């Protein structure tokens, strides 16, 4: 039997029973042992009682998405078997607790989790620790690595707690012993890697860029960004304000931005809906602000803890009037970091809102990454610290961008009403035109200045060219790896506004077969492509059931 070094492990069971922690530790142990990992947790919108899963893909090469097939399934209850048996690969093994679960799956291993926990006088909730120990034994990860992780996780709670967890994990590990296993974590730890979510990567990017202020309101799947900022308020000199609502969230960020701090808010579609009026105020007053919008399926409350790409049109058009906003649509964790950094440069350079559009899948999937190589210097655009006495906030300029002073340095006003270059109200038709045109000119300026709006991956001469954006990137890249014989190219859009019209037109012209893949029912990106290039991509794969794309289904579609 050949030993697989690219496989998927999944733990499934009732919410509240430590599924997330088990998954995180399993993945981290494999990563420390040398593997590349990609993790995707799924959970319903409740804290206890629902069905949770944590799936991690382990490989000896870098991986960009989960796959549908599971090779090792840990079922903590009957649902853990019933809801996932059709995901099991041919060579899969199923590990279950005979005390609460029955199965007729041939290749299954009863692991007496409850019994082992009881032997050590542990709480039932610690069954996951047995499963963790057993899982790592199955894939040949050195117990020392788990020991270290348990120590890190529980040392704050005292030596007794550490020992208790270690004993139980060891019992699980030893139960499996040196049993033959078809899966093995590749043990070639060359570089130190980090296990990080898209939300984490955005937070790090923002902090790197000098973002000092976040004000926002919790909303899945963006909440982790708020938590990260709050955790690092003291050591990184940040302010994180949990506001009364999202309206106040974006407004405070705009206030802080006006005063001169790099500032942001982070939310999902529903929270963004509340921010819409203030978004236009930022554009009219020409105040920099960054908003992360992590999508989940709508309309309304929708599927609060699942994924979709249904808010693209919303963020592009949100708020009354015509105005320019930058919209970045990162596709993986490195691009989340890049967007996190660049958003603040763009917001100050163009003095307008910048939106980073992600989703549950990207924001809450964890991948093993190396320290980020992307770097950009802080660009504060036309900020002037010592303005002259005759300073004019809205001075005309060819690039549409006026010199920006900060309150404290000179007397000036900013106005949400239409205004003249002094910042005084005006309803004069000529002045209205000139001001509107000044702000509108930023699109062309930004379009010229922002590079790499579209990124190409895959075969130079593909049989099929995929057009996608945001988090769909990972599953398409993995479909490429699975494809034997079919040459796939991916045109991935990282910057949606200014829209990369020329780049996409070129790729459309040379495509033998163009396919649109995106996670919404309305083919929103497809509509934009048609609007900007005149080309309609009829050949499209759309998904909108709350689940991310799987490489297998993408490949199946492309092979059609």
Binding site for other proteins (CB under 8 A): 32, 192-196, 200, 204, 207-210, 212-213, 215, 232-239, 241, 243-245, 247-248, 251-263, 277-278, 281, 285, 371, 377-378, 406-417, 422-425
Question: What is the DSSP track for 84-96?
Answer: TGGGEEEEEEEEE
Strand positions, DSSP E, 69-223: 70-75, 88-96, 108-110, 194-197, 211-216
CA-CA distance, 10 to 71, in Å (whole number)? 8
**Least distance to other proteins, CB of residue 231, Å:** 8
The CA-atom distances, in angstroms, between 378 and each of 193, 263, 343, 549 are 26, 14, 11, 36
CA-CA distance, 2 to 4, in Å (whole number)? 6
- Note whether 296 and 221 are within 8 A (CB): yes
**Least distance to other proteins, CB of residue 439, Å:** 17
- How crowded is residue 552: how many other Cβ atoms within 10 Å of its Cβ? 15
Which residue's CB is nearer to other proteins, number 99 or number 245? 245
**Least distance to other proteins, CB of residue 408, Å:** 5
Which residue's CB is nearer to other proteins, number 419 or number 547? 419
- Note whether 8 and 129 are within 8 A (CB): no
Is 207 strand, coil or helix?
Answer: helix
Is 216 strand, coil or helix?
Answer: strand
- The angle subtended at Cα 551 by Cα 545 and Cα 554, nearest 5°, is 70
Which residue's CB is nearer to other proteins, number 105 or number 415? 415
Which residue's CB is nearer to other proteins, number 85 or number 232? 232
**Least distance to other proteins, CB of residue 281, Å:** 5
Which residue's CB is nearer to other proteins, number 232 or number 487? 232
**Least distance to other proteins, CB of residue 338, Å:** 14
Which residue's CB is nearer to other proteins, number 210 or number 527? 210
**Least distance to other proteins, CB of residue 556, Å:** 35
Which residue's CB is nearer to other proteins, number 255 or number 527? 255
Is 289 strand, coil or helix?
Answer: strand
The CA-atom distances, in angstroms, between 344 and each of 141, 317, 328, 352 are 42, 21, 12, 10
**Least distance to other proteins, CB of residue 372, Å:** 9
Q: Token pair of 37, please?
A: 């990992």
**Least distance to other proteins, CB of residue 287, Å:** 9
Spatial neighbors of 5 by CB under 8 A, at least 6 apart, are 35, 58, 59, 60, 183, 184, 185, 186
**Least distance to other proteins, CB of residue 17, Å:** 25
Which residue's CB is nearer to other proteins, number 235 or number 430? 235
Which residue's CB is nearer to other proteins, number 164 or number 325? 325
Which residue's CB is nearer to other proteins, number 101 or number 426? 426
- How crowded is residue 123: how many other Cβ atoms within 10 Å of its Cβ? 9
Determine the angle formed by the axes of helices 19-33 and 143-154, rounding to 10 degrees.
130
DSSP conformation class of 16:
T
Which residue's CB is nearer to other proteins, number 16 or number 407? 407
**Least distance to other proteins, CB of residue 48, Å:** 27
Which residue's CB is nearer to other proteins, number 91 or number 142? 142
Walk across the sheet containing 353-359 and list its strands: 239-242, 211-216, 262-267, 289-295, 353-359, 326-328, 495-497
**Least distance to other proteins, CB of residue 208, Å:** 5
**Least distance to other proteins, CB of residue 204, Å:** 6
- Note whether 266 and 215 are within 8 A (CB): no
Q: In whole angstroms, what separates CA 402 from the centre of its chain?
A: 34
Strand positions, DSSP E, 314-399: 326-328, 353-359, 366-369
């Amino acid at each position: 039997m050949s030993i697989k070094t690219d496989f998927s492990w999944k733990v499934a069971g009732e919410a509240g029973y430590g599924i997330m922690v088990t998954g995180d530790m399993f993945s981290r142990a494999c990563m420390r042992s040398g593997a590349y990992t990609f993790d995707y947790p799924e959970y319903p919108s409740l804290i206890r009682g629902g069905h949770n899963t944590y799936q991690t893909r382990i490989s000896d090469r870098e991986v960009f998405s989960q796959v549908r097939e599971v090779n090792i399934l840990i079922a903590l209850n009957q649902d853990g078997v019933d809801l996932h048996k059709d995901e099991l690969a041919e060579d899969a093994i199923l590990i279950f607790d005979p005390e609460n679960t029955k199965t007729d799956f041939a290749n299954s291993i009863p692991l007496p989790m409850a019994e082992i926990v009881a032997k050590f006088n542990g709480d039932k909730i610690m069954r996951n620790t047995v499963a963790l120990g057993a899982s790592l034994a199955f894939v040949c990860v050195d117990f020392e690595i788990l020991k270290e992780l348990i120590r890190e996780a529980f040392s704050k709670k005292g030596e007794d707690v550490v020992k208790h967890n270690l004993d139980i994990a060891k019992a699980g590990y030893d139960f499996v012993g040196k049993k033959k296993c078809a899966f093995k974590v590749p043990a070639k730890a060359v570089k130190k890697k980090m296990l990080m979510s898209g939300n984490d990567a955005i937070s790090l990017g923002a902090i790197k860029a000098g973002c000092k202020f976040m004000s926002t309101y919790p909303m899945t799947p963006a909440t982790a960004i708020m938590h990260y900022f709050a955790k690092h308020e003291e050591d990184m000199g940040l302010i994180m304000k949990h506001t009364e609502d999202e309206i106040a969230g974006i407004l405070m960020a705009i206030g802080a931005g006006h005063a001169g701090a790099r500032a942001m808010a982070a939310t999902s579609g529903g929270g963004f809906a509340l921010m819409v009026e203030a978004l236009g105020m930022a554009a009219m007053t020409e105040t920099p602000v960054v908003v992360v919008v992590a999508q989940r399926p709508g309309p309304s409350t929708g599927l609060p803890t699942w994924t979709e790409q249904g808010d693209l049109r919303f963020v592009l058009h949100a708020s009354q009037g015509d105005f320019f906003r930058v919209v970045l649509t990162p596709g993986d964790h490195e691009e989340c970091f890049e967007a996190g950094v660049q958003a603040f440069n763009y917001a100050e350079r163009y003095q307008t809102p910048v939106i980073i559009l992600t989703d549950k899948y990207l924001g809450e999937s964890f991948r093993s990454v190396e320290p980020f190589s992307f770097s950009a210097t802080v660009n504060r655009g036309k900020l002037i610290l010592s303005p002259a006495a005759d300073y004019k906030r809205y001075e005309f300029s060819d690039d549409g961008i006026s010199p920006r002073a900060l309150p404290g340095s000179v007397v000036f006003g900013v106005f949400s009403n239409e205004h003249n270059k002094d910042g005084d109200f005006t309803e004069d038709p000529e002045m209205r035109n000139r001001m509107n045109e000044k702000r509108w000119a930023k699109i062309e300026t930004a379009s010229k200045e922002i590079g790499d709006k579209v990124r190409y991956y895959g075969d130079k001469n593909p049989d099929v060219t995929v057009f996608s954006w945001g988090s769909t990137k990972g599953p398409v890249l993995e479909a490429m790896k699975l494809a034997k014989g079919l040459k796939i190219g991916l045109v991935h859009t990282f910057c949606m506004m200014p829209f990369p019209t020329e780049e996409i037109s070129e790729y459309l012209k040379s495509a033998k077969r163009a396919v649109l893949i995106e996670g919404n029912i309305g083919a929103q990106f497809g509509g934009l492509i048609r609007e900007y290039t005149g080309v309609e991509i009829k050949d499209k794969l759309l998904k909108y059931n709350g689940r991310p794309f799987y490489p297998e289904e993408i490949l199946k579609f492309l092979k059609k």
